[in-house]
Structure 1
Amino acid sequence: MNTTTGIKLSLMMFLQYFIWSAWYVTLGTYMSEPPLGASGIQIGATYGALAIATMISPFFVGLIADRFFAAQKIMGVLHVLGAGLLFMATKITDSNIFYWTILCYSLLYMPTIALSNSVAFSQMTDPGKQFPWIRVFGTIGWIVAGVMIGQMGIEKSADTFYIAAAVSAGLGLFSFILPNTPPKAQTADASSALGTEAFVLFKDKSYLVFFIAAILICVPLSFYYGFANPFLNEIGFPNAASKMTLGQVSEAVFILAIPLLFNRIGVKNMLIFGMLAWVLRYVFFAYGNTGDANWMLYAGIVLHGICYDFFFVTGYMYTEKKAGEKIKNAAQGLFTFATYGLGMVIGTGYSGYVVDGAKTTTGHNWMSIWMVPAYIAAAVLVFFIIFFKEKKSITTT
């Protein structure tokens, strides 16, 4: 991979995740304000639109995009169309119509994640060494978007969607000059797209316990994605969107420690630390404030690195090791479908219901709200400790 190609791929990743961060993090805050004035259930459902799209996108990529179109071209078309929907979202005043707009946008956006990865991998001679250096620009893009939104003070404004729409249109056009990634011309069916070949892994009790825990832990995860930014804004935490990017900085730092810790302390302990971090995060949010307990709010944000990396990144690594070479792609697809799809659909719906139930005349009883995901994460942790019994050592190189 030459320097020019590397620069193009890095910019592609930067823009890909800048778009997502620009509107997604502050979506709940935007929806809660006029003219939408959405309820917690409506906000949760709208976040769930991305989870629905996550479940559908493997079929689109596996059955259509990979077989009939060059990846960079279909990605360009999807981003241009997505820009139009993001712009349209700013003109909508009905929260129900807004939901369907975000759902349609999500159905366009989510396939571009897999497509952008395909474009990148197709140009690499050593993906194991080269991809992390390209993908890290996606994390940088997410951070830059969050800092920009926070510093501009537009978290409650439609300007977040204007920015995302403009960048989406730019990436759409830029996609057409990305390296050519022709269709794979492979025979695929709905079963392989969904990853049902990996169902054989459920014969292993330890993996089944892990899989169930992964779906359940997405319920507390949904509380953070959907309501952390509205919470921080409501209690007067300044520049919330900017400071929430500390979570991505933490994620980038902790991911470097995973290969070493994975071998040293084992997969079970890694996953336990990840789930314990979820409990601590929500306890910190429950008792934190903008006064003497301000540090708890920062701690809850920074814990994102352990929450995400130690459970989900470790989970992907564990899944790959258990699956082996033959069905590893199917296994990863099934894990993504179950967690960021099914688990998040359940979690986004339930979190909205909890938030609405804790509404007060002046805002929300956030302590009672955050203790719910804390209790759920604790219950999942206890379930995992009791029933997960890995019979052999799982290591990575």
Structure 2
Amino acid sequence: MNLKLRLTILSFLQFFVWGAWLITIGVYWFGTKQWGGAEFGAVFSTLGIASIVMPALTGIIADRWVNAERLYGILHILYGMVLFMMPQVADPGQFFWVMLAAMIFYMPTISLSNSIAYYILKNNNYDVVKEFPPIRVWGTIGFIVAMWVTNLTGNKASANQFYIAAVFAIILGIYAFTLPKCPPQNNIPKNASLSEKLGLNAFSLFKDYKMALFFLFSMFLGAALQLTNMYGDTFLSDFEKNPLYKESFVVKYSTLIMSISQISETLFILAIPFFLKKFGIKKVMLISMFAWVLRFLFFAYGTPEGFGLMLIILSCVVYGMAFDFFNISGSLFVETTTDYKIRSSAQGLFMMMTNGFGAMLGGLGSGWLISQYFTHENGDKMWHEIWLIFAGYALVIAILFAIMFQHKHNPADVAEVKH
């Protein structure tokens, strides 16, 4: 089978097994289980807790001791097994721990999937910056397909969403063992320091002012991403409480509407090589930050009909730019600016800052803020004010990044990958 096709299948399933429940879990949580908002923020923070340690740790293991594709396969099989336990949980406190276990196994596979794709492409003399985005776009398609499957089968408020993800996670884990071998690249010299022996070299990137700033703002943008994942579908579903919109398409098929965000991703992913080479990482990330501002502003004034519906759709469209120009471009920036010996570890650090500390900041912070200040006594959320606060947050981050992050763009740097 063609190598790029095999990596395309990997990318598709990688995000299918996440998209089957990530966007709809809020509907399951608030609607079916009728659990509280503060607890929901805690559950979503498990993405962050797991990402603080696991991506960096598994990156070190893949750089040092175990083939990346084998480690990846084992993690997905374990992730699938834990997902089978989800529907059995009847208490939000217990749900937190089961979800944490699932995220400990799943979150590191995101950066590992990037490392595997990068290694296989480079090992077969492909241009990573050119070839990776068209492969990665199928991950977004997998996420879309999973969302549609969950919604169209009537499972957006059902525990079956976890079973769907579990089955395909185990299939993906088995499939990973058929991939070309991705052996450890960092042989330990006899005179190596303790940090080198432990595989902690990548943390030295924080000594570089520019890289440290890059990771810091990656954390802030990671928080913005979690706000969308946590509340987007729930926000649209809540229009059901308004008699004017109860039977609207937006309410009945909220997950399909949200999937426009991922459809938009497929277009912007393919534009990344052009934008990175022409404008550089700073301008690309600034575009992402201002896109987040628009994402939240459009939601703030959106409704299921007329001009309000157009704003909701526009919000989903700009999401593609907001997500891709930060997440995918950031991963490529790390890949093209770090030494090959620590690339898996460096990808793990990027993951740690975005889906680790960023997810915790977004999950716990927004959960507390909304439950304390933006929830009516009857439990209804003040969505207009919530989205305006989020838009303000993204705007402040964009202004600070523009001032603080100094980077002179050289198109040749993007094309060059250090071997």
Is the 8 Å Cα contact of residues 21 and 147 (structure 2) preserved in structure 1? no
* CA separation of 1:320 and 1:172: change in aligned 2, threshold 3 A: closer
Q: Which amino acid aligns with 1:82?
A: Y
**1:73 Cα deviation from its structure 2 partner:** 3.7
Match of 2:296 among 282, 292, 316: 282
Answer yes or no: is 1:354 the counterpart of 2:369.
yes
Most deviating of 270-279 and 289-298: 270-279
Who is 1:343 aligned against? 358
Query: Superposition pairs for residues 158-169 of structure 1, below 5 Å?
Result: 158-169=159-170
- TM normalised by structure 2 equals 0.82
Tell me how far apart the structure 1 counterparts of residues 176 and 341 of structure 2 sit (CA, whole Å). 32
Match of 1:197 among 204, 215, 235: 204
Tell me how far apart the structure 2 counterparts of residues 64 and 329 of structure 1 sit (CA, whole Å). 9
1:207-245: per-residue Cα shift (whole Å, max 9, x none)? 555544332233332211111111111124231222222
Tell me how far apart the structure 2 counterparts of residues 300 and 139 of structure 1 sit (CA, whole Å). 17
* CA separation of 1:349 and 1:263: change in aligned 2, threshold 3 A: same
**1:96 Cα deviation from its structure 2 partner:** 0.9
**1:156 Cα deviation from its structure 2 partner:** 0.8
**1:394 Cα deviation from its structure 2 partner:** 3.5
Match of 1:91 among 60, 82, 88: 88
Tell me how far apart the structure 1 counterparts of residues 223 and 145 of structure 2 sit (CA, whole Å). 27
**1:123 Cα deviation from its structure 2 partner:** 4.1
Query: Superposition pairs for residues 8-23 of structure 1, below 5 Å?
Result: 8-23=6-21
Tell me how far apart the structure 1 counterparts of residues 68 and 82 of structure 2 sit (CA, whole Å). 21
Is the 8 Å Cα contact of residues 194 and 334 (structure 1) preserved in structure 2? no
Is the 8 Å Cα contact of residues 56 and 348 (structure 2) preserved in structure 1? no
Give SS of 1:393's match.
Answer: coil
- TM normalised by structure 1 equals 0.87
Tell me how far apart the structure 2 counterparts of residues 193 and 213 of structure 1 sit (CA, whole Å). 22
Give SS of 2:21's match.
Answer: helix
Give SS of 1:25's match.
Answer: coil
Who is 2:41 aligned against? 44
Give SS of 1:16's match.
Answer: helix
**1:285 Cα deviation from its structure 2 partner:** 0.7
Is the 8 Å Cα contact of residues 44 and 351 (structure 1) preserved in structure 2? yes
Is the 8 Å Cα contact of residues 148 and 242 (structure 1) preserved in structure 2? no
**1:387 Cα deviation from its structure 2 partner:** 3.5
Answer yes or no: is 1:260 the counterpart of 2:274.
yes
Most deviating of 335-344 and 95-104: 335-344
Query: Superposition pairs for residues 1-397 of structure 1, below 5 Å?
Result: 2-3=1-2, 5-35=3-33, 37-64=34-61, 67-124=64-121, 125-127=124-126, 128=128, 129-182=130-183, 186-187=187-188, 189=196, 192-193=199-200, 195-202=202-209, 204=210, 209-236=213-240, 237=250, 238-292=252-306, 293-319=308-334, 331-357=346-372, 358-360=374-376, 361=378, 363-390=380-407, 392-395=408-411, 396-397=414-415
Q: Root-mean-square deviation (CA), in Å?
A: 2.9
1:141-165: per-residue Cα shift (whole Å, max 9, x none)? 1111112112223111101011111
* CA separation of 1:394 and 1:317: change in aligned 2, threshold 3 A: farther
1:238-271: per-residue Cα shift (whole Å, max 9, x none)? 3122222221221221233233333444544333
Is the 8 Å Cα contact of residues 201 and 323 (structure 1) preserved in structure 2? no
Most deviating of 368-377 and 10-19: 10-19
Q: Which amino acid aligns with 2:125?
A: D
**1:95 Cα deviation from its structure 2 partner:** 0.6
Most deviating of 22-31 and 324-333: 324-333
Most deviating of 371-380 and 189-198: 189-198
Is the 8 Å Cα contact of residues 273 and 310 (structure 1) preserved in structure 2? yes
Q: Which amino acid aligns with 2:258?
A: M
Q: Which amino acid aligns with 2:409?
A: S
Most deviating of 119-128 and 102-111: 119-128
Is the 8 Å Cα contact of residues 21 and 161 (structure 2) preserved in structure 1? yes
Is the 8 Å Cα contact of residues 216 and 353 (structure 2) preserved in structure 1? no
Tell me how far apart the structure 2 counterparts of residues 132 and 294 of structure 1 sit (CA, whole Å). 30
Give SS of 1:186's match.
Answer: coil
Tell me how far apart the structure 1 counterparts of residues 166 and 60 of structure 2 sit (CA, whole Å). 28
Question: For structure 1, which runs of at least 5 residues remain unmatched after alignment?
Answer: none
Q: Which amino acid aligns with 2:235?
A: F
Q: Which amino acid aligns with 1:198?
A: L
1:126-181: per-residue Cα shift (whole Å, max 9, x none)? 34255444433322211111121122231111010111111122223333444444
* CA separation of 1:329 and 1:394: change in aligned 2, threshold 3 A: farther
Is the 8 Å Cα contact of residues 121 and 131 (structure 1) preserved in structure 2? yes
Most deviating of 245-254 and 278-287: 245-254
Give SS of 1:245's match.
Answer: helix
1:337-394: per-residue Cα shift (whole Å, max 9, x none)? 222211221111011112223222262111111111111111112223333444x334
